[in-house]
Amino acid sequence: DAMVIQNPRYQVTQFGKPVTLSCSQTLNHNVMYWYQQKSSQAPKLLFHYYDKDFNNEADTPDNFQSRRPNTFFCFLDIRSPGLGDAAMYLCATSSTRGSTEAFFGQGTRLTVV
C-alpha cells in the first residue's frame, strides 16, 4: 500500500495559470518535504515542514508556496507557472520519532504549455 501519495501523477497547466499539487501520507511522519527535480539533476529542496514549522529555502522563488493543514496533507501551490517550472515535483516524509525511513511519493510530472 502506498504510504506517500501524490496527486495527480501528471499535470498539464497553462503558462501563468495557478496550479496546486497535493501530497498525503499515512505514516504519521512529522516532517514533510517538497522537491523539484529536472531531468538528470538531483532533487532540489523547495521547502519543508517540521511539524507546523515552515522552512523555505533561500533560493525558492516566491512563485512557489506551500500549505500543510494537518499532519497528513501538504500542498504545493505554483501561483504563475512559467515554462521553466516544468519538472517532476516530489514529496517526501520522515519522522524524528523512532522511524528510520524517509519515503518519497511517486511524484507529479508538471508540464507547462
Partner 1 sequence: GQNIDQPTEMTATEGAIVQINCTYQTSGFNGLFWYQQHAGEAPTFLSYNVLDGLEEKGRFSSFLSRSKGYSYLLLKELQMKDSASYLCAVRDPSDDYKLSFGAGTTVTVRA
Using CB under 8 A as the criterion, which residues of the chain lie in contact with partner 1 when the complex forms?
A: 31, 33, 41-43, 45, 48, 50, 53, 55, 88, 90, 92, 94, 96, 100-107
Residue with Cβ nearer partner 1 (19 or 33): 33
Q: Determine contact, residues 24/68, Cβ cutoff 8 Å.
A: no
Residue with Cβ nearer partner 1 (79 or 106): 106
In the complex, minimum distance from the CB of residue 69 to partner 1, in angstroms, rounded to a whole number: 19
Please give the Cα distance from 42 to 39 (Å, whole number). Answer: 8
Residue with Cβ nearer partner 1 (108 or 112): 108
Cis peptide before 8 (omega within 30 of 0): yes
From residue 27, give the alpha-carbon distance in Å to each of 61, 83, 95: 29, 34, 9
